[in-house]
């Protein structure tokens, strides 16, 4: 089992084709039971597709930089420990 943080790291690696086969398997397994990371992975894939699509239409350098920044700024999913308990007033 891997943590959400680790899953997010592998997810990012997958986008740049840097993840190993074992890492991809671990990520897939994690996505089976973790909805938070599943949503994050989906969003990441969409951004990646957008980037590929953009490359096909040969963007200007400025637009490419903007897209790269968008991918970099993609937030990590919140870890379960970050979710605070509802306070009883």
Our CB check for Zn ion shows the closer of 10 and 34 to be: 34
Q: Which is nearer to Zn ion, 3 or 55 (CB)?
A: 3
| CB-nearer residue toward Zn ion: 10 or 37 | 37
Number of residues that bind Zn ion (CB under 5 A): 4
Of residues 13-72, those binding Zn ion (CB under 5 A): 34, 37
Distance of CA 68 to the CA centre of its chain: 14
Would you count residue 4 as binding Zn ion (CB under 5 A)? Answer: yes
CA gap 10, 3 in Å, rounded: 11
Q: How many CB atoms lie within 10 A of CB 40?
A: 22
Q: Among 5-13, 15-23, 46-54, 64-72, which window interacts with Zn ion (CB under 5 A)?
A: 5-13
Report whether 42 contacts 35 (CB < 8 A): no
- What is the C-alpha to C-alpha distance for residues 77 and 68, in angstroms, rounded to an integer? 19
The residues binding Zn ion (CB under 5 A) are: 4, 7, 34, 37
């Amino acid at each position: 089992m891997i943590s959400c943080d680790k899953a997010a790291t592998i997810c990012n690696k997958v986008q740049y084709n840097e993840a190993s086969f074992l890492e991809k398997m671990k990520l897939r397994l994690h996505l089976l039971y973790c909805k938070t990371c599943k949503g994050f992975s989906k969003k990441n894939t969409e951004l990646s597709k957008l980037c590929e699509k953009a490359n096909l239409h040969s963007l200007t350098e400025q637009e490419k930089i903007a897209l790269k920044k968008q991918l970099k700024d993609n937030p990590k999913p919140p870890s379960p420990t970050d979710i605070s308990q509802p306070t009883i007033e």
